[in-house]
Amino acid sequence: MNSCLLCEKPLDDQPTWQQFLGIEKQTSTCPVCLAKFERIDSITKNDQLGSIYSLYAYNEQAREYLHQFKFLQDIALAYVFASDLRSVLIDPKKIIVPIPMHPASKKRRTFAQVDALLEAAGIPFQELLQKTTESVMGEKTRSERLAIIELFTASADIISNEKIYVLVDDIYTTGTTMHHAAHTLKQAGAERVEAVTLFRATGKK
Amino acid sequence: MAGVTAKMTWHGTHFMCRRCLNEDQSKFTSFQCAQCETTCAYCRNCLKMGRVSRCSELLIWTGQAPIYPTEHRMNWQGNLTPAQQKATNELLDSTKQSISHLLYAVCGSGKTEMLFKPIHHLLNEGKRVCLAAPRVDVILELLPRLKIAFPDTVIEALYGGAEVERFDAQLILATTHQLYRFQEAFDAVFVDEADAFPYTADETLQQAVRKAAKANAPIHFVTATPSAQLLAMNKKNGNISILARRYHGKPLPEPRNETLWNYEKQIKKKRIPKKLLNWTKERLDKQQPFLIFFHQIELMELAEPLFQQLDDRICAVHAEHADRKERVQLLRKKEVPGLLTTTILERGITIPNVQVAVIGAEQKIFNKGALIQIGGRVGRSVPNTSGDFVLFHQGITNAMDEAKQEIRKLNKQGDPLL
Ligand SMILES: [Zn+2]
Ligand SMILES: [Zn+2]
Ligand SMILES: [Zn+2]
């Protein structure tokens, strides 16, 4: 029996004809759990990024979700947002670039969460960035964050400039990570860089 | 030892979790692992206790058990009825012979007290005892009573989020999930509320109980609503005691069926269905405390403001509410007239003269056991040894019929005082 990834309750998985025809993917999460996420579709921009698009607010449900996904290493939860991410990111004009993890952190977690989200959604992506330091942004003060010169390096020069490069991360908090990643991509030759994150922490410091 | 093992079968890879013994393949997730750099798999059944996978080592408490003291005081002078006395002696005999025992005791028959004598016997033999229950509520309710009953004994309670100091305590109270931490650790295990609502039979949990007990240790079950499987198992390989009468000797209230059509639609339209409205008004008029059971939190929360128009102190509680216990206490003290609920609430707690209604008794979640447990809230104490137990429904289910028959059968058995 199919059960909800978050609450374990059995799903009413009466196959609909849409699923039968392959138009709609089978659900993995029950409507009750999904309703606890707060959809915001927030779009902002800054000097580096043409747009920063966040799908959901970082509320209690989001906090629990990320805890289970990242801290408890429950990679199965990557499927919860598969169709949401697909509808936003499948676009032939876009090249999807996940915010990378440092190889050592990735080994410890056993998977890179952004790659897992994209793979679950069946979204092709290019690993154009590499992380240079193992440290985490949240542990630093603002001046320390800005002082780090290169957080990422680009693994190749960017040639196809008619494409839009879309950086993807699980959560947008201070914006420093995105800022650095966009900067590195632009240095490597990208002209248009945008960002998509699953969650956005509102009420910034 | 790897946390998750795999063997190849005709049907493909078959995983098993070495911690919780889960073999339900739908509860394993395979993935490309950056740690072991192969296709790895982990168990989602016991994820909350920290993930175990094919490439993680399993940590089980294997510390040497100390030599336990053999002199324990039992500080309990309560009186047992002759029927309770008989049951407790039978349970003690089974314990001495290492035979599994099913104590089938109706709600309100004073089950915990019947465990004291056998537990005391085991402790005095220097044996290690576990009392397991499926829900934290039950553990928290039992802990103070056992600490009073056995004042010299080292007792520790294990449940999700508990701070545990003494894993090696002689008497362990644990939620069934916490038993995963033990292997061949106990000389006897008592499983309380073996068929508790909303807990449904979970084979891996039963295996976890088996794993936590030593090879020849007896496993006893205490329940008001044994499953057919549990009854059959103990008929074959164990002993059974039946307590069909409550301690006050009065019969269990039988449920009464009332149709309530389209209750969901009506509540969504912000109307309390007529019959339910009248039932509630009658309780308010007579100042009888009441519990109204819903099958679903969403529906209950829609109904809450409607009931508050009748009396603004009426409120809803469900298992996740932090102040659930306080609200139940308020009902006991008659500071709130009634509660809406989706859960059985604190099982041990007696609310004098409480009246009970189930909305949507035909819903799947209200199986026979759940209905018997719900009815068990009614008429627990003197002088209010009966009360209304009404099932509002849109069609009578087998579960409703079976619950009624079972209650009748027990009442009949209880007639010629045991
Ligand atoms: Zn759910
Ligand atoms: Zn497991
Ligand atoms: Zn691995």
DSSP string, B20-77: T----GGGEEEEE-TTTSSEEEEESTTGGG---BTTSB---B-PPPPPPPS-------
Candidates 3.30.1360.30, 3.40.50.300, 1.10.3720.10, 3.40.630.30; CATH matching B256-413: 3.40.50.300
Give the residue on A whose Cα is nearest the Cα of B41. A75
Q: Name the residue among B37, B29, B38 with its Cα closest to residue A103.
A: B37
Query: Helix, strand, or coil here: B150?
Result: coil
Residue B65's CB is within 10 A of a number of other CB atoms, namely 15
DSSP 8-state assignment for residue B222: E
Place of tokens 């465990």: B115
A132 found inside a domain: yes
Interchain CB contact of B53 with A (< 8 Å): yes
Return residues 16-35 of A near B (CB < 8 Å).
32
Helical pair B368-375 and B398-414, crossing angle rounded to 10 deg: 50
Positive or negative, the CA dihedral B339, B342, B348, B354 is positive
Give the closest ligand to the alpha carbon of residue B46: 2
Interchain CB contact of A70 with B (< 8 Å): no
| Residue B339 main-chain phi, psi, to 5 deg | -125, 145
CB B353 within 8 A of CB B387: yes
Interchain CB contact of A106 with B (< 8 Å): yes
Q: Do B40 and A108 touch (CB under 8 A)?
A: no
Q: Check whether B266 has a pLDDT greater than 80.
A: yes
A175 found inside a domain: yes
What's domain B82-243's superfamily in CATH? P-loop containing nucleotide triphosphate hydrolases (3.40.50.300)
* Among B35, B53, B298, beta carbon nearest to A107: B35
Residue B16's CB is within 10 A of a number of other CB atoms, namely 15
Name the strand (E) or helix (H) holding B243. Answer: strand B239-243
What pLDDT was estimated at residue A205?
A: 35
Give the closest ligand to the alpha carbon of residue B181: 2
A:B CB pairs within 8 Å: 39
Q: Ligand 1 centroid to A91 CA: how many Å?
A: 30
What pLDDT was estimated at residue B64?
A: 65
Distance CA B178, CA B140 (A): 14
For chain A, the farthest-separated pair of C-alpha atoms sits apart, in whole angstroms, at: 55
Q: Name the residue among B364, B341, B337, B234 with its Cα closest to residue B292.
A: B341
Query: Helix, strand, or coil here: A2?
Result: coil
| Residue B409 main-chain phi, psi, to 5 deg | -60, -45
A169 found inside a domain: yes
CB A200 within 8 A of CB A56: yes
Mean pLDDT of B103-120: 86
Q: Name the residue among A126, A135, A124 with its Cα closest to residue A101.
A: A135
Tell me, what amino acid is at B182? Answer: F
What pLDDT was estimated at residue A73?
A: 93
- Report the phi/psi class of residue A177: left, alpha or beta, with left for phi > 0 and alpha for psi in -120 to 50: alpha
Best residue in A73, A114, A127 for a mutation probing chain B (most B CBs within 10 Å): A73
Give the closest ligand to the alpha carbon of residue B38: 3
Q: How many domains does chain A have?
A: 1
Residues on chain B touching A75 (C-beta within 8 angstroms): 29, 31, 42
CB B174 within 8 A of CB B164: no
CA geometry: angle B308, B314, B315, nearest 5 deg: 100
- CATH number, domain of A128, equals 3.40.50
The reported pTM is 0.58
Q: Which residues surround ligand 3, an ion (CB under 5 A)?
A: B 33, 35-36, 40, 55
Reported as a single tens digit per residue, the pLDDT across B221-230 is 988 878 777 7
CB B74 within 8 A of CB B116: yes
A39 found inside a domain: yes
Q: How confident is the model at residue B59 (pLDDT cuts 50, 70, 90)?
A: low
Q: Do A74 and B51 touch (CB under 8 A)?
A: yes
Q: How confident is the model at residue B328 (pLDDT cuts 50, 70, 90)?
A: confident
Tell me, what amino acid is at B265? Answer: K
Percent of chain B scoring above 90 in pLDDT: 44
Q: Which residue has the higher pLDDT, B245 or B63?
A: B245
Distance CA B181, CA B52 (A): 13
Distance CA A196, CA A172 (A): 9
Q: Check whether B417 has a pLDDT greater than 50.
A: no
Distance CA B406, CA A48 (A): 71
Residue B392's CB is within 10 A of a number of other CB atoms, namely 23
Could you list the residue range(s) of the whole structural domain that residue A145 is in? 31-200
Residues of CATH 3.40.50.300 domain(s) within chain B?
82-243, 256-413
Structure tokens, A60: 């209690």
Reported as a single tens digit per residue, the pLDDT across B353-371 is 899 999 999 998 888 888 8
Q: Check whether B93 has a pLDDT greater than 90.
A: yes
Q: Do B35 and A108 touch (CB under 8 A)?
A: yes
Place of tokens 């603002």: A142
Interchain CB contact of B77 with A (< 8 Å): no
Q: Which parts of chain A have pLDDT scores under 70? A: 1, 12-27, 135-149, 159-160, 203-205
Instruction: Produce one character per residue of B158-195: b if its CB has 16 or more CB atoms within 10 Å, e if not.
Output: bbeebeeeeebbbbbbbbbbbbbbbbebbbbbbbbbbb
Instruction: Produce one character per residue of A1-35: b if its CB has 16 or more CB atoms within 10 Å, e if not.
Output: eebbbbeeeebeeeeeeeeeeeeeeebbbbeebbe
Shortest alpha-carbon distance between residue A51 and chain B (Å): 32
Helices (H), chain A: 17-20, 31-35, 60-66, 82-89, 103-109, 113-121, 142-147, 176-187
Q: Do A76 and B29 touch (CB under 8 A)?
A: yes
A60 found inside a domain: yes
Mean pLDDT of B249-277: 92
* Among A32, A74, A112, beta carbon nearest to B44: A74
Best residue in B20, B31, B49 for a mutation probing chain A (most A CBs within 10 Å): B31
Give the closest ligand to the alpha carbon of residue B31: 3
- Report the phi/psi class of residue B193: left, alpha or beta, with left for phi > 0 and alpha for psi in -120 to 50: left
Half-sphere exposure of A188 (CA within 13 A, CB side): 21
Report the residue count for chain B: 418
